[in-house]
Amino acid sequence: MVQPATARRSTTAVRRRHLGEHQIAALVLVTPALLIIVGLRIVPLVLGAQYSLTGDGDRNGLFVGLANYRTLLDDPVFRTAVRNVGLLFLALPVAVAVPGLLATFLFLKVPGHRFYRSVYFFPVVLSPVIIGAIFNILLSFDGPLNQLLGKAGLAPVDWLGNSHVAILSVIGVHIWATFGMALVIFMAGFSTLDQSLLDAARCDGATLPQTVWHVVIPELSRTIQFVFVTTMIGMLTGMFGLVYVMTAGGPGGATYLPEFYIWVTQGQMNSPALASAASMVLFVLMLLVGLAQIRLIKRATKEV
């Protein structure tokens, strides 16, 4: 009676000690990452949220409730910035379709695909400031693009100075500058594609569009989902450099995006609490957009 009980106890003890070691090891390995995430992400986020409820200038440090959020709601520039986020949302399918299509061509090994693969990726390594400066020259009123239009008998367009065109110019340049990264992700997705499924489709006599629709897209659903979310996040947070260099938010505030608004409000306008409120709005916006995208795309890319 005694012996088996002892044996059971010792086995449990060994397992306990064993588990403890595993746990400690896991904790030790995870702690540095956790500290960095908590210290550099979560704490600033909480501080930012807290700061957004305080005043600026004479009311610095005082609790003002949601006053900053009300100010944002009344600010036409911030409203334009948020409206432009909507425009980014509309441009998103283009930003995903361009690398998707090009990746398909590369996957199908069009002539010169090796060369194009590196050419398409090249803009990703350039700084937005350089890209902005190059396009400032290309798109300037007396620049090469307008000269080309002139030769074709068309009127010149003030690509960066017309309030209705400027935001589209900046978004276009952003898509050009960043699609290389999405292309690489698509290429990685293509490399995991099950070749037997493609062969089966071919044997069944499926056309190319049918193959793409019924085999490629469902197979790449996770990749497409990932590219959608990362491209949107990139658009919401990575266009500052281009806006700053290409239009400075103008003309008439037409190219403001939330992150540019945050920067101007904090630095130029000396209103950090209001800027914190704007950054909280951007954070929530990104959270909602990300959630909505994951849900929508999951449904859209599911094989019926």
Partner 1 sequence: MMPTASGPTTRGIRSPRRGWFAAALVPALALVSAACGAAAPQTQSGGGASAGGGKLVVWDWHSGDATTKEYYAKAKSDFEAKHPGVQVEFVAQPYDQYYTLLGTAIQAGKGPDISMFNGGAQMRDRVSSLLPLDDKVGDLKDRLVGWDAFRKDSATYAVPVTLQGFPFYYNKAVYKKAGLDPETPPKTLTELQTTCAAIKKSGNACFNLGNKEGLGIEFFLSGFGPGVFSPAQYDAWLAGKRDWKSPEVKQIFDLWKKTNDEGWYNKGVNSTAMFMDQFTMFSGGKGGNVIGLISDTAHWKSFDEFLGPDLGVYKPPVSNPANVTSTFLPAEGGIGYGVMKWTKDPALAVDLVKSLASTDAEKSFFEKAGAIAADKTVDTKSVDVKAAGEIVSWLPDSKPLLHTALSAKTLDLMHRLSQQLISGDVTVDQVLTQLAASDK
Measured between its terminal Cα atoms, the distance across the chain in Å is: 61
- What is the smallest separation between the CB atom of 220 and partner 1, expressed in angstroms? 19
Give the separation between CA 49 and CA 132, rounded to whole angstroms: 32
Q: Which is nearer to partner 1, 20 or 112 (CB)?
A: 20
**Residue written as token pair 């491209």:** 231
Q: Which is nearer to partner 1, 159 or 228 (CB)?
A: 159
- What is the smallest separation between the CB atom of 208 and partner 1, expressed in angstroms? 34
- What is the smallest separation between the CB atom of 301 and partner 1, expressed in angstroms? 16
Q: One-letter amino acid identity for 16?
A: R
Give the SS3 label for residue 154.
coil
Residues 118-124: contacts with CB within 8 Å, 24+ apart? 120/179, 120/180, 120/183, 121/180, 121/181, 121/183, 121/184, 122/180, 123/176, 123/177, 123/178, 123/179, 123/180, 124/177, 124/178, 124/180, 124/181
- What is the smallest separation between the CB atom of 128 and partner 1, expressed in angstroms? 15
- What is the smallest separation between the CB atom of 53 and partner 1, expressed in angstroms? 4
Q: Which is nearer to partner 1, 116 or 283 (CB)?
A: 283
Q: Which is nearer to partner 1, 137 or 208 (CB)?
A: 137
Binding residues (CB under 8 A) for partner 1: these are: 15-16, 19-20, 23, 42, 45-54, 60-63, 65, 77, 139-142, 156, 158-163, 166, 247-248, 250-253, 263-264, 266-270, 272-273, 280, 283-284, 287, 290-291, 294
Give the separation between CA 35 and CA 195, rounded to whole angstroms: 43
Q: Which is nearer to partner 1, 120 or 226 (CB)?
A: 226
- What is the smallest separation between the CB atom of 105 and partner 1, expressed in angstroms? 32
Q: Which is nearer to partner 1, 54 or 223 (CB)?
A: 54
Cβ atoms 159, 247 nearer than 8 A: no
- Per-residue buried b or exposed e for 233-266, using 16+ beta carbons within 10 Å of the residue's own CB: ebbbeebebbbbbbbebebebbbbbbbbbbbbbb
Tokens for 21, please give them.
Answer: 């070691």
